[in-house]
Amino acid sequence: MNRKYNVAVVGAGLVGKKMVEILLERNFPIASLKILATRQRQEIIAGRNFSVEETTPGSFKDVHLALFAGTEGEKGASKTFARQAVAGGTLVIDNGSDFRMEPDVPLVVPEVNKETLQQHHGLIANPNCSTIQMVMVLAPLEQAFGLKRVIVSTYQAVSGTGREAVEELQNQIQAYCSGRTAARRVYPHPIAFNVFPHIGSLSEEFPGYYTEEVKMIRETRKIMNLPDLPISATCVRVPVFNGHCESLTVELKKPATAEAARQVLREAPGVSVLDAPEKGVYPVPVEISGKDDVFVGRIRSNPAFESGLDIWVAADNIRKGAALNAVQIAEELLRQNLL
What is the overall mean pLDDT for the chain? Answer: 96
Q: Are strands 30-37 and 147-156 parallel, antiparallel or unpaired?
A: unpaired
**Residue 286 and residue 140 in one domain:** yes
**pLDDT tens for each residue of 271-310:** 999 999 999 999 999 999 999 999 999 999 999 998 999 9
What is the span of the domain harbouring residue 30? 5-126+322-335
**pLDDT tens for each residue of 320-335:** 999 999 999 999 999 9
**Residue 80 and residue 204 in one domain:** no
Q: Give the list of residues 6+ apart from residue 111 with CB closer than 8 angstroms, or none.
A: 136, 139, 268, 269, 270
Neighbours of 218 (CB within 10 A): 19
**Residue 157 and residue 257 in one domain:** yes
**Residue 150 and residue 121 in one domain:** no
**pLDDT tens for each residue of 59-93:** 999 999 999 998 644 457 898 999 999 999 999 99
Whether the Cβ atoms of residue 158 and residue 166 lie closer than 8 Å to each other: yes
CATH number, domain at 145?
3.30.360.10
- What is the total count of domains within the chain? 2
**Residue 294 and residue 167 in one domain:** yes
The angle subtended at Cα 184 by Cα 166 and Cα 319, nearest 5°, is: 20
For the annotated catalytic residues, the residue numbers are 129, 244
For 69-84, give one letter per residue: b (16+ CB within 10 A) or e. Answer: bbbbbeebbbbebbee
**Residue 105 and residue 141 in one domain:** no
Q: Give the list of residues 6+ apart from residue 233 with CB closer than 8 angstroms, or none.
A: 151, 152, 153, 154, 209, 212, 213, 214, 216, 217
**Residue 120 and residue 152 in one domain:** no
**Residue 240 and residue 204 in one domain:** yes
**Residue 295 and residue 150 in one domain:** yes
The pLDDT > 70 percentage for the chain reads: 98
